[in-house]
Structure 1
């Protein structure tokens, strides 16, 4: 029942190959045993601390759940990445996940990257024909003042490049060498919205991305917030210049929508999401329907349908339920849990609509209370 105390794999940077491999190859996190309140109270101090530590880590890392948004994005990503087989010298199409905060875009990108990583290692083995480590995926995260040289250095850092001096071209050549020798196929670049298209460095980075796409035999997967309005697709030109921008022709844009309950399908998806969460909650006083039925309206109002805000609320609620000894989630307990500012701002309008019967999260009667999300399907590289 008790897991040994240790550092979470979440603390390892995904922008280093060691951290990426540790997360991608990690076995499923063991689910803590569900104890009755009597057995919970019978634990000694040390055993109780270890059990609660295990539950805190578990609740903080529920998922990723196979939401319709994740499944649809993964299907498109497999299609794009696995069909990018152009010979060297031909630019490969890139893909960008563009969505507002809290909708799970980074989770979608990373979970696809983990699936892709495992699939290629299973199919081709951990070593290349030249006996180098096979590293199917590289990942980098941009910062506000990223320059082309810095981006190249970030790519080198992922592979463990020790040097800190060199020119933009030096690091680009080294990054290309690593990708070729390690047979990297996918490069994930997160936080692309940090690029300012009104600055010279921002424009240089976008042009640099195009150059890398021409030279590197990989598919780039970009992740960011509101990329279209930030000028990424028009390369800093006017909004009417989209058709003249190469980026708009080369980047396939994938979007992620929040959950909605104005339609039958939307309410069904919301119920299934809550069922998937509910079956992962380990509290001694929980019951079937605690989340998916009794808190359905409440959680939708407080999260505004954003999965990031919802999971934050669930994680903090479980922590409070354990700390207070209530060992269950109720609206009264959750009222004391703080959530992000955007959700709290949108809560009043949604709660009013739910209270007045203008909106409901109740699903069609044919959706059972038992069960949860369908299992995620993993596509295989052909």
Structure 2
């Protein structure tokens, strides 16, 4: 019944949800390549055998989904901050520096830290004389819900596939993680979902202390990413003051087109996205005709907008039009935003109910 929809489906493509929190999954992400297919004309495309045409479609859908990489000003600002922190940390006399990416959801924070980590690891592997399989330049972990010092260290131990007893002490876990980081020449530790460490709650203080102690014991740089970290309590109290003093915060904000400079940046991002689609009959710069509408409906979210654009590009490939339907693109983007807003509203209502129940229990 659905055979026509699955004819050109890329069954062999890897999911974009790599298992970043294990060294094997992270390495798969670092080493994965999806090359941009060679452009062709409609005449050349129509002349292809059906099997070759199907392979060509698979290649360009794979590239636009997991191969294309868009350089944004926010990403470059973060990369410059991370480079400075790493350079500072080479001095044995300086206190350890780090970087925090903060911003609203769908602003590209996690993508930014992952792409920087990927680029750094590929460059480090190319220059290293250490055995490639023993080298783990970047570690990636997420802050667990209800984090403690032990659960935070377990997350990092799990990344390296370190065996440990469930009854192992925090000190034992910390020592083992630090040792393996030195043995594997880890230089960057990325901690995602750092907003879960709301220091207004006493229970989260241990996890924050654990990350601080880790940063002092391994010769590398900590990079955090999270949603509106100041509003969510990461900078609360004396521990928060220490984090603010040691970490440079890079804010990922909505793209603003009210100024000429902002409009130029937004237009360049749209043009790069349009090129990454590999549509054969797409007029260059056509998407710029709805630049303002895309900004308003997406609320300046690159991730939300890119999802809508790629969905419409797949439709253009499958229906043979080979160009974006701009009216449909605005409808798809509005639908995506509406669904995300509904989920956010439901999540916010659930969080308020949970907070209410906790307050009643304290009373």
User: Of residues 84, 90, 107 in structure 2, which corresponds to 1:85?
Assistant: 90
CA displacement 1:22-47 (0-9 Å, x = unmatched):
322344x2112444445545555544
Unaligned runs of 5+ in 2: 1-7, 343-363
Kept in 2: contact 1:86–1:92 (CA 8 A): no
Q: Secondary structure of the residue that 1:18 maps to in structure 2?
A: helix
Instruction: Show the counterpart of 2:299.
Output: 304
| TM-score, normalisation: structure 2 | 0.81
CA displacement 1:267-296 (0-9 Å, x = unmatched):
1111211221122222232112222x3332
Instruction: Show the counterpart of 1:7.
Output: 13
Q: Is the alpha carbon distance of 1:300 and 1:31 closer, same or farther for their aligned partners in structure 2, counting shifts above 3 Å?
A: same
Structure (1 or 2) with the greater helix fraction: 2
Q: Does 1:263 align with 2:259?
A: yes
Instruction: Show the counterpart of 2:245.
Output: 249
CA displacement 1:62-84 (0-9 Å, x = unmatched):
54322222112211111111221
Unaligned runs of 5+ in 1: 346-382
Matches within 5 A, 1:86-165: 86-87=91-92, 91-127=95-131, 133-163=134-164, 165=166
CA distance in 2: counterparts of 1:53 and 1:79, whole angstroms? 40
Kept in 2: contact 1:98–1:224 (CA 8 A): yes
Cα deviation, residue 7, structure 1: 3.4
Q: Secondary structure of the residue that 1:69 maps to in structure 2?
A: helix
CA distance in 2: counterparts of 1:43 and 1:16, whole angstroms? 41
Instruction: Show the counterpart of 1:341.
Output: 338
CA distance in 2: counterparts of 1:125 and 1:42, whole angstroms? 48
Q: Does 1:295 align with 2:290?
A: yes
CA distance in 2: counterparts of 1:34 and 1:11, whole angstroms? 28
- Output the aligned Cα RMSD: 2.9
CA distance in 2: counterparts of 1:199 and 1:8, whole angstroms? 39
Corresponding pairs, count = 332
My pick for the range that moved more, 316-325 or 5-14, is 5-14
Q: Is the alpha carbon distance of 1:66 and 1:125 closer, same or farther for their aligned partners in structure 2, counting shifts above 3 Å?
A: same
CA displacement 1:170-210 (0-9 Å, x = unmatched):
22121111001112111000111123434333121112222
Q: Is the alpha carbon distance of 1:73 and 1:50 closer, same or farther for their aligned partners in structure 2, counting shifts above 3 Å?
A: same
Q: Secondary structure of the residue that 2:276 maps to in structure 1?
A: coil
Q: Is the alpha carbon distance of 1:62 and 1:299 closer, same or farther for their aligned partners in structure 2, counting shifts above 3 Å?
A: farther
User: Of residues 17, 24, 41 in structure 2, which corresponds to 1:18?
Assistant: 24
CA distance in 2: counterparts of 1:259 and 1:63, whole angstroms? 20
CA distance in 1: counterparts of 2:97 and 2:284, whole angstroms? 46
Cα deviation, residue 164, structure 1: 5.3
My pick for the range that moved more, 101-110 or 114-123, is 114-123
Q: Is the alpha carbon distance of 1:306 and 1:168 closer, same or farther for their aligned partners in structure 2, counting shifts above 3 Å?
A: same
User: Of residues 219, 224, 227 in structure 1, which corresponds to 2:226?
Assistant: 224
Matches within 5 A, 1:151-230: 151-163=152-164, 165=166, 166-230=168-232
